[in-house]
């Protein structure tokens, strides 16, 4: 079996795909992965044993520029990504049996599969962007719905129009160039009627989240056997478990004083700090020896050895922290992160921060809850409930699909 996996987005969009790629390799499949050419993503795919096929611009170049991404950025990036998918995926998918796409609206991927006559699957790690009769759509760039509009169906129709405004002209122009007819609704075309959801059903109850026929596989985890750096190991052993503070690939323009407030709040609770530098470039606020800064590191090991994790609430980080049994303070920034924050609070394994801009006082209050013994006990209980077989489930479903035993999502 030959499989092409593709995604474009932050680490939370790339690492799960790397996890699935690694499992497919274990089962004897030939795997290619087309993803953004950021250095950390190249390293992720190297750990999975799969070379990265560069797709589009680096994500870091888009989100960490002098100015924050704007609507104009989105309207420039959208056709660029469509063109990149046709240019990259057509040759990369040659000879493959199936193309699985995820990440930022993968317009173009299904058209490539259609042109080559191979199976197509859309996979997601949350349901925030999937059409639903139960909740409103998330905000997208473009002409916004009237604040007085309350009809959910109308709001989702207007969401489809916003997606069309971003992607449809480029999509249909490239489809025409390879002899395919135009697509009217590019959002629904990309998502299919039967998307896969790579998330834990206890951590992310999916029922009633969308009107589509979801296939739930469980989360896709890339096993990490790397030892912690020796100096970090020494720091961990030199005192009580610290609090980890890190925000991954979030630029955190909404809170430039995050490191100062977070370190001060943790110290007020008598705890040391492990500060994840991330794309926000968090840095020590002084030269005291109770704060240790890390770059790329094994979260699966580190999170099991900290008192709590303060993070942005991405799907991957939330899953990793939950599986480790670490209590969490989630400071959501964008897209699905408010949902993960709310779910952490609902499960009793941490606190959902109110809004994206924390202060010393708000973090101190949150840490009072997450550092309580009952929160840690609950976090450990929930950790034992989560599934760890998501990549195996998904890989075998792909095998069955190719062999003709499974249902295809490619209309």
Cα separation, 230 vs 235, in Å, equals 9
Cα separation, 154 vs 160, in Å, equals 10
Place of tokens 């122009």: 173
Cα separation, 71 vs 213, in Å, equals 31
> Which residues are bridge partners to 197 per DSSP?
124, 216
> Which residues are bridge partners to 257 per DSSP?
none
Of 26, 38, 29, 36, the C-alpha closest to 4 is 29
CATH topology identical between 2-221+388-403 and 230-383: yes
Q: What is the dihedral of CA 395, 401, 403, 405, to 10 degrees?
A: 110
Could you list the pLDDT tens digit for every one of the 411 residues in the chain?
A: 999 999 999 998 999 999 999 999 999 999 999 999 999 999 999 999 999 999 999 999 888 765 667 889 899 999 999 999 999 999 999 999 999 999 999 999 999 999 999 999 999 999 989 999 988 898 899 999 999 999 999 999 999 999 999 999 999 999 999 999 999 999 999 999 999 999 998 888 877 789 999 999 999 999 999 999 999 999 999 999 999 999 876 655 545 578 899 999 999 999 999 999 988 888 898 999 999 999 999 999 999 999 999 999 988 899 999 999 999 999 998 888 998 999 999 999 999 999 888 899 999 999 999 999 999 999 999 999 999 999 999 999 999 999 886 555 554
Who contacts 4 (Cβ-Cβ below 8 Å, separation ≥6)?
31, 32, 33, 34, 89, 92, 93, 96, 98, 99, 100
The CATH architecture annotation of domain 2-221+388-403 reads 3-Layer(aba) Sandwich (3.40)
> From the CB of residue 359, how many other CB atoms can be counted at a distance below 10 Å?
14
Beta strands across the sheet bearing 52-54: 52-54, 30-35, 2-6, 98-101, 119-124, 196-197, 215-216
C-alpha distances in Å from residue 202, one per residue of 134, 212, 216, 376, 387: 20, 19, 11, 18, 9
Domain boundaries, the chain: 2-221+388-403, 230-383
Class at the top of the CATH hierarchy for domain 230-383: alpha beta
Who contacts 253 (Cβ-Cβ below 8 Å, separation ≥6)?
68
Do residues 196 and 121 lie in contact, with contact meaning Cβ atoms separated by under 8 Å?
yes
């Amino acid at each position: 079996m030959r499989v092409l996996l593709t995604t474009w987005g932050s680490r939370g969009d790339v690492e799960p795909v790397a996890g699935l790629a690694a499992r497919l390799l274990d089962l004897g499949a030939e795997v290619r992965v087309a993803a953004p050419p950021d250095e950390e993503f190249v390293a992720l795919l190297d750990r999975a044993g799969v070379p990265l096929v560069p797709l589009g611009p680096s994500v870091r170049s888009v989100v960490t520029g002098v100015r924050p991404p704007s609507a104009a950025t989105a309207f420039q990036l959208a056709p660029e990504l469509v063109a990149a998918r046709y240019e990259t995926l057509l040759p990369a998918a040659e000879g493959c049996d199936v193309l699985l796409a995820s990440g930022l609206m993968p317009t173009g991927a299904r058209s490539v599969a259609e042109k080559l006559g191979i199976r197509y699957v859309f996979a997601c790690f949350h349901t925030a962007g999937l059409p639903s009769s139960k909740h409103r759509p998330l905000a997208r760039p473009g002409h916004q719905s009237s604040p007085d509009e309350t009809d959910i169906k109308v709001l989702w129709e207007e969401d489809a129009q916003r997606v069309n405004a971003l992607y449809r002209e480029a999509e249909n122009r490239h489809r025409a160039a390879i002899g395919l007819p135009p697509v009217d609704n590019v959002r629904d075309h990309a998502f299919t009627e039967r998307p896969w959801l790579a998330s834990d059903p206890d951590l992310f109850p999916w029922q009633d989240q969308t009107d589509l026929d979801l296939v739930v596989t469980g989360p896709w985890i890339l096993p990490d056997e790397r030892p912690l750096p020796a100096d970090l190991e020494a720091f961990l052993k030199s005192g009580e478990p610290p609090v980890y503070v890190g925000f991954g690939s979030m630029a955190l323009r909404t809170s430039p004083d995050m490191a100062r407030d977070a370190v001060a709040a943790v110290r007020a609770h008598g705890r040391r700090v492990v500060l994840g530098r991330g794309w926000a470039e968090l840095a020590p606020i002084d030269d005291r020896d109770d704060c240790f800064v890390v770059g790329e590191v094994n979260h699966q090991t580190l999170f099991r050895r900290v008192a709590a994790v303060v993070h942005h609430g991405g799907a991957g980080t939330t899953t990793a922290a939950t599986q480790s049994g670490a209590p969490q303070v989630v400071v959501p920034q964008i897209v699905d992160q408010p949902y993960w924050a709310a779910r952490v609070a609902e499960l009793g394994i941490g606190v959902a921060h109110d809004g994206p801009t924390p202060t010393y006082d708000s973090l101190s209050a949150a840490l009072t809850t997450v550092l309580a013994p009952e929160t840690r006990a609950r976090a450990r209980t929930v950790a034992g409930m989560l599934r760890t077989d998501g990549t195996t489930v998904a890989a075998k479903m792909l095998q069955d699909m190719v062999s003709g035993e499974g249902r295809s999502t490619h209309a």
